[in-house]
Amino acid sequence: MNTQVISIQNNFQHDLNGSVSFLFYCFMNLCIKAEPAALLSAEFEQGGLTLSIEDMGDVAQPDKYRLCVVPKESEDIPLIIKGVLREHPELKPAIMTIEQDKLVEIDESDEREDIQKLVVFTVPEVNEDRHDVLLQGVDTFYDKCKVDMEKSHAAYISKMTVALKGESVEDINAAKDELEGIYNTYVETRDKLKEDKIKEIEDAYQLYLKKHTEEENIRKEQADAKGEKAGFSMNMFAEGDEE
């Protein structure tokens, strides 16, 4: 097999890997749980410069639904919130500090010198609205990746056809099979990423429904108990009047 064919196969694999890696990154930014890497896409304008989250502070993950930014400068907190929400408007920001090993919300105007102000971003629950938006996001990113891969596939088939002129039938078939094998592998990876992301969204949505169903049942039981108690009291008054 000539070196041009091998080069075409390697470049094809490189392009497909880029498309699938970008899809993974896009899916990660559809936050279901806290993902520190999701803040890497946020940008912050300061003094005519475009800064990254790493320039603004350190990122930690206190639990699976919250991200914590430890600012290098407390006065940068409004800028951090603005930049992150521009990229992830779904996140819920709060200014907090640590007291007795727990995150405690404080007022932005708190000027105590002995505390470290933190910016904590909470990923909201996957309610019905978020469920629909997230699924739309999955479809949008997936469809773009699919189109890009199909275009790349067609382009490299054309390149391969030119490169294989004059080669034996055996070498032509082997080269084309190799190209298709590479493509099919990345198609499977792409489709699995979509399948996994949809499952993650659906699992989170079912968790939300279960939680709120249980809360609603508790409220109903409490309301029924109050109604029974009120009915009992009214009966007491009625009995007293009869006497």
Q: Thinking of the domain 3-27+128-225, which architecture would CATH place it in? A: Orthogonal Bundle (1.10)
Contacts of residue 211, Cβ cutoff 8 Å, sequence gap at least 6? 125
pTM, to two decimals: 0.83
Could you tell me the residue ranges of all domains in the chain? 3-27+128-225, 33-122
State the helix-helix crossing angle for 3-28 and 169-242, rounded to 10 degrees. Answer: 10
CB 106 within 8 A of CB 82: no
Task: From first to last of the 243 residues of the chain, give the pLDDT tens digit.
Answer: 578 999 999 999 999 999 999 999 999 999 999 999 999 999 999 989 999 999 999 999 999 999 999 999 989 999 999 999 999 999 999 999 998 889 999 887 777 777 889 999 999 999 999 999 999 999 999 999 999 999 999 999 999 999 998 888 998 899 999 999 999 999 999 999 999 999 999 999 999 999 988 877 887 777 766 666 655 565 655 555 555
CATH of domain 33-122: 3.30.1360.40
